[in-house]
Structure 1
Amino acid sequence: MASETEEKDAVTDLQDRMLDQLSNVIDPELRIDLVNLGLIYGLSMTDGVVTVTMTLTMVGCPISQVLQNMIETSLEKLPEVNDVKIKIVWEPAWSPAKMSRYARMALGYHG
């Protein structure tokens, strides 16, 4: 039986690998990955089904379906993942302040 510490380490490892996968999903318009853009709000997994809680830069984003397909394809590369569900939320609202320093510099945002 795995200890509580081992289970937490396994969860952290899986979360890290999921974030690594998502860092390869590049927004085609902004040319920055979703993680650095600050669009990923949470990741959870139950019985091989990953739920990605995320937002978009704006309501009615014209590439939302493209991004969702890219996310699914990326996460399904992990052996533990059988299915991906994407939950789009609008609270808290996305703003450039949610971007990483790298993304702000790459996009020339100085706000």
Structure 2
Amino acid sequence: MSDINTAEDSEELGEKIVKVLKTIYDPEIPVDIYELGLIYDVLVNEDNEVKILMTLTSPNCPVAETLPVEVEEKVKSLNAIKDAEVEITFDPPWTQDLMSDEAKLELGML
């Protein structure tokens, strides 16, 4: 397989992961976690194992236990994904500046 196909495949896979992330919502805010800016990085290795670096709106977030598990399970449900792991970080801390314009519009902030 050429590098070009691999690049296209990983780009396509990345788009599928983002689509899945956009189906997961913060229960306190009617915006998905991707548009909220909670996803800092998505890494996919050559074995299609995914590592997601994400944050929460606050360390005391009521879904701190369940949201990372939901993210892992939904990403793992993609056929091409072998495994998924979520790492939570608060560095840098989440702020409203990380939200997309779409999220800000949805919340009446624009």
Q: What is the TM-score with the length of structure 1 in the denominator?
A: 0.88
Query: How far has the Cα of 1:109 moved from its partner?
Result: 2.2
Match for residue 107 of structure 2?
107
Aligned residue number for residue 12 of structure 2: 13
Higher share of residues assigned helix: 1
Q: Distance in 2 between matches of 1:68 and 1:82?
A: 17
Give the alignment's Cα RMSD to 1 decimal: 1.4
Matched residue count? 109
Secondary structure at the aligned position of 1:34 is classed as: coil
Aligned to 1:74: 74
Q: Which residue of 2 aligns with 1:83?
A: 83
1:49 Cα offset (Å): 2.5
Amino acid at match of 2:17: M
Q: Tell me, what secondary structure is at the counterpart of 1:37?
A: coil
Shift of 1:60: 2.3
Taking the TM superposition and a 5 Å limit, the aligned residue runs for 1:8-47 are 8-46=7-45, 47=47
Structure 1 unaligned blocks of 5 or more: none
Show structure 1 runs of 4+ deviating over 6 A.
none
1:73-95 CA-to-partner distances (Å, cap 9, x unmatched) read 21122012232211111222211
- Which amino acid is the alignment partner of residue 11 of structure 1? S
CA distance in 2, matches of 1:92, 1:16: 24
Counterpart amino acid of 2:103?
Answer: A
| Percent of residue pairs identical | 29
Gaps of 5+ in 2: none
Matched letter for residue 72 of structure 1: E
User: TM-score scaled by structure 2?
Assistant: 0.89
CA distance in 1, matches of 2:109, 2:26: 17
CA distance in 2, matches of 1:58, 1:40: 14
Bigger Cα displacement from structure 2, 39-48 vs 92-101: 39-48
